[in-house]
Chains A and B, each alone.
Chain A
Amino acid sequence: MLKVRKITLSGFRGILKPQDLLLTAKDDKKPRSLVLYGLNSSGKTSFVDGVEWFLSEDNKVEWLTREDAEEKAYPHLAVDPDKDESFVELQFDDSEKKLDTLRKTYNHKKITQPSLSSDDDFENVYKAFVIKPYLRYLEVIDFVYNQTGLKKYQRLANWMGFESELSFQEKLALKILPELKRKKDELAATVKALEQHLFKLTGSQDTSDIEILRICNGVLTAHKIAEQKSIEGLLAYIPEFAKLRATSSVGITIDKLTQAETSIGLFTVSNTLLGSLVDAKKQLDDFNKELKRIEQIDVIGLYDQALEVLNKQTETSTTCPVCGTSWERDELVKHIQDELNLLTKVKEDKEAIEKVINTLKSVVRQEAGTIERLLSKYDDVQKIIPALTYEKTKAYKEILSGLESGWLAKPLGATTEIALTKELIEQVEAEQKEVLKTITSEKTKIQPSERDLKLAEDIEKLTQIRVKLIEIRDTEAESQFTEKEITAFAAVSNKLITLIQENIKSRFNEISERIGKYFSILRNDKDIKNIEIVLNEEKGRAAGRSAEIQLHYYDVTVKPAYKVLSESLLNSLGLAVYFTCIKQFNDSCKFIVLDDIMNSLDIDKRDTLLDLIEQEFSDYQIILFTHDYYWFQKIVRRFPKWIPKKIKSWGYETGAVIDVAATTQEEIEECLKDSTRIEDAGWKLGRYVESTLNELCEGLWAAVRYRYTKNDPPSMEELFDALYARLNDKAKGHAAVQQIQEAKKYEPIMRNFVSHARTNSGTSIAPAEIKRAAEEWFKLENELWCKDCHQFVEYHRSKESIECQCGKLKLEKAKK
């Protein structure tokens, strides 16, 4: 089982000098859980990025990849590649004694291939987990807002570790099968084109054997040659017929001209190519405009800005770095979502454009081949008729070659020009007609006998008919054979997909029950039951590669879940899914890194996350980062065995300065020792008491007047009174009730230091008074805090009692 003793970063992301994050207590090598507090932009995320990069077999930090930052963004900006190393090192605690300290070092010369301290050991690390053991706040949001089933499936694939199966399914559905279909269509199109040639030769749309035989026998009869009885006989006879060609020089010349004439007559210039080029150009130009826009968006800046806005709850407005507009917090989330959707749309548009361009490339190539063959025939005629010119056709060929090597070869970001015009196409067609006219008049000039002329023409006609017919048969045979083979391949593909889907469904079933359990710990909504992840198997582009969350809401089956779930419930569901996957699939990896995920939960639900961690992950090493001081202190109190640390400061060169964190009580005492920090002690105490009073009143169901606006929070006096009234009602005579009154005596001092203090008379208060206020307050806390389960007492409606979670501390009315 794998846990972590130490994480070291150097020259990586926001950390320049080597920086350790110790996950062991002094004189004890056993790794422990840790909570690290740090303000935004103090270096916390650098550690998470470091862990992600370290654990990534692809050596990537995914969220940076999504923001087009990629590997170049990993080293600290001040790193000198010639002198400094950028690395991430993890010291493991491995119960199987296989892994110790491993280091991954960034390679400035090959940025996608860092050097590893031991390839084998890293292999073992990668194998140790299925689900990536780190979760960021944005990933929960990302899952929640991924509206489409396909995107959810992709995210689940990432969490549940079936990305490679998903990738293979997509390879089959989006690359391999379409290529095979394209080949099938190509063969069918070739048969059609050949049948068109045959039609031009025979003058009949009917290309059946009977009709061909009839037409050809007509020709033979005209030359007083016996009819052939079958198409096979005809095909065998035609070469014999061709031997009747005149052997005189005039005859030979007529033959050549006739051959050329027949072949040239079969060519058709494409009249749809220009239209297709114009359409593709428009799509490409529109797309390239968007591409320019995307390049301008500093998406990393966008995310940083978004984080700052979303995390600073007190700020109500901010400025979008892209468009400079001021936004309200909620609206910025939507704006960022729209930008993300644009990026997603760009990706989809890119795929669509590439498909169009690939088809167009095939068409252009085919047309270029046709024109090349036509030019070859013209060259043959020019040997007989030197005055023959065909400049337009040559120009057409040049343009097609230019297209193939120009923007069709590299369409994205290219300047698209279409030198081809309708006028030129018409000129090429006119040129073809002119060449045919020239050939006819040359044949007339040579003055062969009518019989010889007719014979030459008919020999050529029947010869061409024979060639085309054989080609059609061959191509049809190949087409049928290929279709049969493709069907056989499809059977293999379908079987594989069925197996993959069955495997994924069984994984979904395995985890659905646990998701329900974890969800019920995080939320207590009795109306929501039977949460399941189900595979969408309906037809469509993403058939079988799309998943949804289904649940029962008031006994009605709802899919997808977001139809009935609020944002807050969806956040909880996202967390329930992630933690379930960790529990279910990570057997040997027993550490989890959580980066500011508390933000994804409502304030009154964050305790339930701690409940989940305590109940289901007590044997795991949790490495939790937060910027929320209140919750940091709550975690410190709730989990006294965890290592509490805080980032005292951050500097560009110094990086994060990490120190062991003290409890609020310790911090207050520390401040009181320093005469210059008395006011700090007051502020710490005032705010702490205010937030804890709010928490106690909420947990105990103390009646506090409802507020309609945030600008009118309850006063400390009000909170003390509400708490007193409640406990006096439910636990009259208990020591805690009296202690509330003792603590309340110092309310006039403490109220100067609350978050919404209207006066600023804190500086006039003596340290001794603050000290006494703190003493009385912490005495009160002692009465209400259970030392076993590390939680405050709460009101339990079902039992009508005031007690802690474990039941060891109960507040009851004193017996008379």
Chain B
Amino acid sequence: MSSDIIKTHLEEMKKDKELDAAFIQLLSDSNATNEDGKDTAGKILNLIKKRYAESKKNNA
């Protein structure tokens, strides 16, 4: 079941510039849809992979 309290916490955390907004959003989506942890981890790793590919492209 999704949690309103977690939703509120994550919304607050988005205001903190030192925290990664994309990761916060992934957790927010995970909470909203009651997603399985493994699937959420998969999305996080995909995001990291994508970011790495972009960073390689920028450094090339």
Chain A residues with CB below 8 A from B6, complex form: 164-165, 168, 496, 500
A478 to B24, CA, bound (A): 22
Chain B residues with CB below 8 A from A165, complex form: 3, 5-6
8 A Cβ contacts from A470-500 to B: 477-478, 481-482, 485-486, 488-489, 491-493, 495-496, 499-500
A496 and B45 contact, Cβ closer than 8 Å, known pairs A175-B36, A488-B20: no
Whether B30 contacts A478 by the Cβ 8 Å rule is no
Chain B residues with CB below 8 A from A477, complex form: 56
Chain A residues with CB below 8 A from B9, complex form: 496, 499-500, 503
Instruction: Give the one of A57, A168, A172, A499 with max B CB within 10 A.
Output: A168
A311 to B37, CA, bound (A): 43
B19 at the interface (CB under 8 A from A): yes
Would you give the shortest CB distance from B45 to chain A, in whole angstroms?
A: 6
Whether A164 contacts B2 by the Cβ 8 Å rule is yes
Whether B20 contacts A481 by the Cβ 8 Å rule is no
Chain A residues with CB below 8 A from B23, complex form: 488-489, 492
Whether A58 contacts B1 by the Cβ 8 Å rule is yes
Whether B52 contacts A163 by the Cβ 8 Å rule is no
Whether B10 contacts A485 by the Cβ 8 Å rule is no
A477 to B12, CA, bound (A): 33
Chain B residues with CB below 8 A from A180, complex form: 41, 44-45
A174 to B42, CA, bound (A): 14
Would you give the shortest CB distance from B52 to chain A, in whole angstroms?
A: 5
A760 to B46, CA, bound (A): 83
Whether B13 contacts A492 by the Cβ 8 Å rule is yes
8 A Cβ contacts from B14-54 to A: 16, 18-20, 23-24, 27, 30-31, 36-38, 40-42, 44-45, 48, 51-52
Chain A residues with CB below 8 A from B37, complex form: 171-172, 174-176, 179
Closest B residue to A484 by beta carbon equals B48
B55 at the interface (CB under 8 A from A): yes
Chain A residues with CB below 8 A from B45, complex form: 179-180, 183
Which listed residue (A167, A176, A503) contacts B41, Cβ 8 A? A176
Whether B27 contacts A492 by the Cβ 8 Å rule is yes
Whether B1 contacts A485 by the Cβ 8 Å rule is no
A5 to B47, CA, bound (A): 54
Whether A175 contacts B3 by the Cβ 8 Å rule is no
Whether A163 contacts B1 by the Cβ 8 Å rule is yes
Would you give the shortest CB distance from A574 to chain B, in whole angstroms?
A: 24
A688 at the interface (CB under 8 A from B): no
A683 at the interface (CB under 8 A from B): no
Whether A171 contacts B40 by the Cβ 8 Å rule is yes
A486 to B41, CA, bound (A): 11
Would you give the shortest CB distance from B12 to chain A, in whole angstroms?
A: 8
A496 and B2 contact, Cβ closer than 8 Å, known pairs A176-B41, A179-B41, A183-B45: no
Whether B48 contacts A482 by the Cβ 8 Å rule is yes
Which listed residue (A58, A171, A174) contacts B30, Cβ 8 A? A171
A258 to B31, CA, bound (A): 55
Closest A residue to B36 by beta carbon equals A175
Would you give the shortest CB distance from B32 to chain A, in whole angstroms?
A: 11
A496 and B41 contact, Cβ closer than 8 Å, known pairs A164-B2, A167-B1, A489-B20: no
A57 and B27 contact, Cβ closer than 8 Å, known pairs A165-B6, A478-B52: no
Which listed residue (A492, A495, A503) contacts B5, Cβ 8 A? A503
Chain B residues with CB below 8 A from A486, complex form: 48
Closest A residue to B3 by beta carbon equals A164
Closest B residue to A485 by beta carbon equals B48
A164 and B1 contact, Cβ closer than 8 Å, known pairs A171-B30, A495-B19: yes
A162 at the interface (CB under 8 A from B): yes
Closest B residue to A502 by beta carbon equals B9
Which listed residue (B5, B12, B40, B52) contacts A500, Cβ 8 A? B5
A214 to B45, CA, bound (A): 38
A488 to B51, CA, bound (A): 13
8 A Cβ contacts from A153-182 to B: 162-165, 167-168, 171-172, 174-176, 179-180
Would you give the shortest CB distance from A317 to chain B, in whole angstroms?
A: 43
Chain B residues with CB below 8 A from A491, complex form: 18-20
Closest A residue to B10 by beta carbon equals A496
A175 to B45, CA, bound (A): 13
A172 to B20, CA, bound (A): 16
Whether A485 contacts B16 by the Cβ 8 Å rule is no
Would you give the shortest CB distance from B43 to chain A, in whole angstroms?
A: 10
Would you give the shortest CB distance from A659 to chain B, in whole angstroms?
A: 40
Whether A489 contacts B44 by the Cβ 8 Å rule is yes
A481 to B3, CA, bound (A): 32
A728 to B27, CA, bound (A): 74
Would you give the shortest CB distance from A202 to chain B, in whole angstroms?
A: 27
A486 to B38, CA, bound (A): 15
Chain A residues with CB below 8 A from B27, complex form: 492-493, 496
Would you give the shortest CB distance from A506 to chain B, in whole angstroms?
A: 11
A175 and B38 contact, Cβ closer than 8 Å, known pairs A164-B1, A488-B20: yes
Whether B1 contacts A481 by the Cβ 8 Å rule is no
Chain A residues with CB below 8 A from B31, complex form: 168
Chain A residues with CB below 8 A from B42, complex form: 179
Whether A495 contacts B16 by the Cβ 8 Å rule is yes
Whether B52 contacts A495 by the Cβ 8 Å rule is no
A167 to B3, CA, bound (A): 9
Closest A residue to B40 by beta carbon equals A176
Chain B residues with CB below 8 A from A481, complex form: 48, 51-52, 55
A356 to B9, CA, bound (A): 34
Would you give the shortest CB distance from B31 to chain A, in whole angstroms?
A: 6
Chain A residues with CB below 8 A from B5, complex form: 162, 164-165, 500, 503
A172 to B10, CA, bound (A): 14
* 10 tightest Cβ-Cβ pairs between the two chains A and B: A175-B37, A179-B41, A164-B3, A171-B37, A499-B9, A485-B48, A176-B41, A492-B23, A164-B1, A488-B20
List 25 A–B pairs whose Cβ atoms lie within 8 Å, in order of A's numbering.
A162-B3, A164-B1, A167-B1, A168-B6, A171-B37, A172-B37, A174-B37, A175-B36, A175-B38, A176-B41, A179-B45, A180-B45, A481-B48, A481-B52, A481-B55, A482-B48, A485-B51, A488-B20, A489-B44, A492-B24, A493-B27, A495-B19, A496-B6, A499-B9, A499-B12
Which residue numbers of A lie inside 8 Å of B, CB to CB? Answer: 57-58, 162-165, 167-168, 171-172, 174-176, 179-180, 183, 477-478, 481-482, 485-486, 488-489, 491-493, 495-496, 499-500, 503
- Known contacts A179-B42, A486-B48; can you find 8 more A-B pairs with CB under 8 A? A162-B5, A165-B3, A175-B40, A176-B44, A179-B37, A489-B23, A491-B19, A503-B9
